[in-house]
Amino acid sequence: MTLGELQRRFLPLVAKLIDYAYQQGYELTAGELYRSPEQAALNAQHGSGIANSLHTLRLAVDLQLFKDGVYLTDSAAYKPLGDFWKTLDSLCCWGGDFTTRADGNHFSMTWGGIR
C-alpha cells in the first residue's frame, strides 16, 4: 500500500470515530491533523512529540473530548474512543496505549513502523 492510499483510507475512519463519539454522548473539537516537519522537530526538541510524527504524513489526528460541556483532559477518558478506533483497521493505533507518554487524544495509523 502506498502512503497516498493509506491517507485516503485514514480520513473516512476518522469520520467513523467522530460519529461514534457523538453517538456515545461525547462532543469533540478538532485538534491537529497536519503538522509541518519543522514544527514536529521543534516539538521533539521540547519533549512534546517526535520528529517523525505521523501528523507530518496526515496519518494522525488529535481530538479534544467533551462530556456534558466539560473538557476531558485525562488520557483514560478517551479509552472508549481508543478501543473503538482500534477495531476499525489493523493499522489503527491509539495514543493512550503509548508506554513512553500516554497521549489519549491521539489517533493514528501505523506507517513505516511509526504509531
The answer to whether 106 and 78 are in contact (CB under 8 A) is: no
pLDDT (tens digit, 9 = 90+) per residue, 57-70? 999 999 999 999 99
CA 86 to chain centre: 11
pLDDT in tens, the chain (115 residues): 999 999 999 999 999 999 999 999 999 999 999 999 999 999 989 988 888 899 999 999 999 999 999 999 999 999 999 999 999 999 999 999 998 888 999 999 999 988 8
CATH 3.30.1380.10 for the 3-109 domain, yes or no: yes
For the chain, what is the total number of helices (H) and then of strands (E)? 3, 5
pLDDT for 92? 98
pTM of the full structure:
0.93
* Residue 78 backbone class (left: φ over 0; alpha: ψ -120 to 50; beta: rest): alpha
